[in-house]
Structure formats: C-alpha cells, structure tokens
Structure 1
Amino acid sequence: MQVFVIPAFNEEANVPRLLHDLEQRPALWAGGHVLLVDDGSTDDTAGVAAAYDGPVPLMLVRQIRNQGPGRAFDRGFRLALELCDRDDDLVVTLESDTTSDLDALDAMLTRARSGADVVLASVHAGGAIVGAGRHRAGLSRAASFAVRATAGVDARTVSSFFRVYRAGILRRGYLAHDRGFIREGGFACKAEILGKLSRLDAVIEEIPVDLDAGRRIGESKLKVLPTMMGYTRLMARQVATRMRAPA
C-alpha cells in the first residue's frame, strides 16, 4: 500500500492540477490514501481540496495556522503511520505545486520494494532543476554538500520533498526521537529527516529525476534566508551530535 503525504500552502491553483495528474495514474494510489496537509493556507487551498469528488482517495488534513513544511510533514507522517498496517508499506512525499515528476514514481517505488528504506528523487545525481532561479539551485547544491559533510549522509540531493519511505524506517525514526524527530519547521526539515534516518542505518538510494519549476503556477514558497538559517541550525546540531558520539 502507498500513502501519499503532500504539504500545501497557498496552492489553490496547483492542487486541481496535482489531482488531475494523480487521476491519470491510478496504479500509484489504488488501495491507498492521499493526505493533503493544508498548512494554514490563506487562499482557498483547503476549500478546493474539500470540494474534490474525483476518484483519488483524498483526505484533507488542516493546520489552523501556517507552521512550515516540517510541521506539515510531521502531522502527515503520524497519520500515515496509523494507516499503514505493515512496515513494508510505502509513504510517498512530494510537492503540491506539480513540480514533482510523477512518471518517476514507478522506478522509485520499485527501489523501495526491493529493499531501500528511503528513495530520493535526485536532481544532483543525474537529474536537474529546470526553470528555477540561480538562488534555488545554488542553495540546493550547497545544502547537499554541507549536510553530507556534517551528517555523513551518502546522498547528493537532501532537500527535495519528492521521496519514498518504507513505513518501518519512519516508525524507527519516531521511536528513536519521538517529538524531536522533526525539529526544523522550515525547508531544512527534509535534510534533518534524512540525517536522522541515516544514523539509524537506513538504506538510502537515489533516482535521477528532473524538477521542473516551470510547471508551477505562482511563486515558490521557499524563502532563501530562513532556509539558510534552518540549515545552519541543523548543521550545528549534527556536528554536536557527532562530537558526543563515542569513539
């Protein structure tokens, strides 16, 4: 079974397009669930999702105020794990703005079913960021380098939302860290999750995938300065954790 966890903030123009893309690929969600976590949107994102009456098994999860993708993922993961009966069920995360290439999911799911605990859609391991500004691409590359260096994560793309997790590895993450599993509320949360799962010896694999920012209606929600501050906090904690670890 697959459970999708998709955070959304002010994406009323993109959510119908995302649902249409999913409708064209019923094998991805048949027998599963699609959780759209509305992160306190000030537009009609929640209303659009609530009014949906198509075939996709959509569940709307509402956060009353905007708290950032970290809190949205935490809320979505906890509900997804309640829905997953087995540790080899799969949890898929992706952007709500349609920049994730759903055609890549078959290969990602195959890797997860073959034993990978986390499968990353990688723009830096054969894929590319298309149509994004230099700041976005540069920040992504810098974050990947810094997190690999400080956390020892063997992965080239650490910040993309587009991933597949085995339910069992997410459960282990919450058992090991409880409420501290996702401390970063902003976009650095994805690198934080990856670092913590890596320290639990998760098998992490990457699939080359392009991220096409040109598919999005509206601006990216990523803010450069707050995101850089989030990565700085994250790296400081990771260095401190490695220094405390026994030799």
Structure 2
Amino acid sequence: MTVSVILPAKNEAEGLRRTLPALRERMPAAEIIVVDDGSTDDTAEVAAALGARVLGSPYSMGNGAAIKRGARAATGEILVFMDADGQHDPACIQTLLAKLDEGYDMVVGARDWSGQAGVHRGVANAFYNWLASRMTGFEVKDLTSGFRAVRAAKFLEFLHLLPNGFSYPTTSTMAFFRSAYPVAYVPIPVARRVGTNSHIRPLKDGIRFLLIIFKIATLYSPLKLFAPAAMCFFLAGAGYYAYTYATYGRFTNMSMLLLSASVIIFLIGLVSEQITTLTYKADSQGRA
C-alpha cells in the first residue's frame, strides 16, 4: 500500500535538516509532505531542497490545521504523521506499519516517561491516558502522541472534527474508538528536539490542555461526564433538603435549585449523547 508521511512544521528548519534525509533513507518510496505553518525561517526552502513536497501557509493556523491540510493533499493509502523537530525516529515507521498490517486502523507510537517534555507534561499525559482508558474501556497508552500511522480513508472521515490546535491526536484517537475502528500502541523512543523554540506555552496551553479532559468525555460519550455531575447535584440537593427539613421543617429554595440543576444537567447530557450519536451516524451514512 502507498504511504504518505506528513510533517507539520513551524520554524523547524534545523529539525528538518536532520529528519528528512533519515526519512528518505528509510522510506524511499513514500510521499513526504511538509506543511509549513507560517514559518518565519527557511523551513519551506529547506524542505523543498531536501525533496519534500511543501504546502505553505501565509500565517500560522495551528498544528491541527497543518495536519488537516496535509491529509487532504496526501495521495497515500496510509498516512504517517510525525514531528519535524527530530524527536521521532523515522526507523520506527516500519514498526507502526507492521502493526497496522495486523488489522488495525490506527497505530500510535507510545512514549514512556523519559519521552515526556518535562514532569508536568508527563503527569498531565498520564492523567489523560487514565481518563481516556476509563471512558473507552480500552488501555490508552499515549493519548497525545503525534507519531502515528492511520488508514487514510478512515482518518478522512473525521477530518471535520479535528481542531486547528494541538489536540488533534486526542480527537482522532477518541473518534476511532467511538467508531469501533481498532487502535494499537507500540513503544517508541523519543529524542531531544532540535532547537529551543518550543511552541508550547505552559500557562496558556495548560488551560487549553485542561479543556482536553472535557473534550475526551464529550467526544466519546457525553453522558459519562454529565450523569456523574447530575448525580452530585442531586445528592447535594437531597442532602440539604434532609438537613433543612430535620432542622427547620421546611423545603428551601437552595434545595430546589440543586435538584433542578441535577435534572437540567442530566437532560443536557442526554441531548449531547444524541448529538454525538448523530454525528457518527452521519459519518457512517456518508461512507455508505
């Protein structure tokens, strides 16, 4: 099967000088696409000089947007996504493809603790993995890894769901699980990135990554998020009512507010569940 390797890149000229020659050596027949996400250095020139197909952008649209542009332009039946900063070893691509041949639709390169970008990122990713595992019922070893191989036809089904920012791995993984497309994980080494210009901003992106937690739940099964929240409000309302009735012999406005909130939250969860179901149903009908 034909393979397209897609590398989103923003100011990654130095990383590409190391990554692209090794990639071409390991994957001589593959289509290599570098999506220049509004770089201000010579990323596009370096990529073109090293034989990659370059897709340019006049301004930065985000990592996810680069992934979507690359996926639309790719001609391969298999899409391989990897970073352009030298962290991912092109030699591992064959491992991903071999696992894909076993009948999987997505294979993700899973980093160990030493491959995490700092302790705070490692702790956050461990929590994301645990939450996603609880939501899906499958062991999720690395929810946010950007090194993965997927079947192009399956990946393109969910392109409209992917955000333009950094959480495309989370969204695509949960979409595959939700649609019963088999996903596998293989361990990979992660090298130190080339350069010092990280695009991750701890405070701003920390808040954004926190929202990933809610996206995980709402994308896969919203009721698993809303039902526990509704139950907490219900128990709080019932408990407060029991206290005020025993103490003052009356039903208070606060009890009514908490109980009403529990019903509203539960109903929102039901509606969200139906919307999620219809979203994937529409995708299924579109494929048919």
TM range (shorter): 0.7 to 0.9
Residue of structure 2 in register with 1:95 after alignment: 83
Following superposition of structure 1 onto structure 2, how do residues 29-68 of structure 1 map, counting pairs within 5 Å? Answer: 29-30=28-29, 32-50=30-48, 52=49, 54=50, 56=51, 58-68=52-62
Counterpart residue number, 2:234: none
Aligned to 1:69: 63
Structure 2 residue ranges without an equivalent (≥5): 224-271, 278-288
What is the CA distance between 1:203 and its match in structure 2? 0.5
> Shift in Å at residue 151 of structure 1?
5.5
Alignment partner of 1:173 out of 149, 152, 158: 158
**Structure 2 equivalent of residue 211 of structure 1:** 190
Alpha-carbon distance in structure 1 between the residues aligned to 2:125 and 2:214: 18
> Using the alignment, how far apart are the partners of 1:223 and 1:143 within structure 2?
18
Partner residue of 1:5? 6
- Tell me the SS of whatever aligns to 1:155: coil
Whichever residue aligns with residue 104 of structure 2, its letter is A
Q: Which amino acid aligns with 2:86?
A: T
- Measured at CA, do residues 106 and 24 of structure 1 come closer, stay the same or move farther in structure 2, by a change above 3 Å? same
The TM-score with structure 1 as length reference comes to: 0.81
Identity across the alignment (%): 24
Please tell me whether the aligned partners of residues 100 and 106 of structure 2 are also in contact (alpha carbons under 8 angstroms).
yes
| Residue equivalent to 1:24 | 25
Q: Distance in 1 between matches of 2:201 and 2:6?
A: 22
Equivalent residues of 2:115, 2:190 under 8 A apart: yes
- What secondary structure does 2:68 align onto? helix
Q: Which amino acid aligns with 2:167?
A: A
Q: CA offsets, 1:159-205, max 9 Å, x none?
A: 1111000112113324xxxx3x212x222221111111211111100
Which structure's residues are more often strand, by fraction? 1
User: How high is the TM-score relative to the length of structure 2?
Assistant: 0.70
Measure the CA separation in 1 of the matches of 2:131 and 2:165: 17
* Unpaired runs of at least 5, structure 1: none
1:200 aligned residue = 179
How much has 1:128 moved relative to structure 2? 4.3
Q: CA–CA distance in 1 between the matches of 2:204 and 2:176? A: 24
Amino acid at match of 1:113: D
CA distance in 2, matches of 1:140, 1:150: 15
What one-letter code is carried by the residue in structure 1 that aligns with 2:96? M
Counterpart of 1:113?
101
CA distance in 1, matches of 2:62, 2:162: 11
Report the AA paired with residue 204 of structure 2.
P
Q: 1:240 to 1:114 in 2, by over 3 A?
A: closer
Out of 191, 195, 203, the position equivalent to 2:170 is: 191
Deviating above 4 A after TM superposition, structure 1's stretches of 4 or more consecutive aligned residues are 150-153
Q: Which deviates the most, 7-16 or 135-144?
A: 135-144
* Equivalent residue pairs, number: 224
Q: Is the radius of gyration larger for structure 1 or structure 2?
A: 2
Residues 111-148 of structure 1 show CA distances to partners (whole Å, capped at 9, x for unaligned) of: 1122111101111xxx4434842233233323322333
CA distance, structure 1, for counterparts of residue 116 and residue 127 of structure 2: 18
Greater percentage in helix: 2
Q: For CA contacts below 8 A with separation 6 or more, give which structure has more relative contact order.
A: 1
Root-mean-square deviation (CA), in Å?
2.3
- Once the two structures are TM-superposed, the CA of residue 60 in structure 1 deviates from its matched residue by 0.2
The DSSP-based 3-state class of the residue aligned with 1:165 is strand
- Residue type of the partner of 1:3? S
Q: Aligned partners of 1:238 and 1:137: how far apart in 2? A: 18
Per-residue displacement from partner, 1:11-62 (whole Å, max 9, x unpaired)? 111111111211331xx241x3111001111111112223x1x5x5x11001
The DSSP-based 3-state class of the residue aligned with 2:21 is: helix
* SS across alignment from 1:13: helix
Q: What's the offset of the Cα at 1:69? A: 0.5
1:59 maps to a residue whose letter is R
| 1:131–1:163 CA distance, 2 compared to 1 (3 A) | closer
Q: Any idea what SS the aligned residue of 2:95 has?
A: helix
Q: Whole-Å Cα distance in 2 between the matches of residues 36 and 210 of structure 1? A: 22
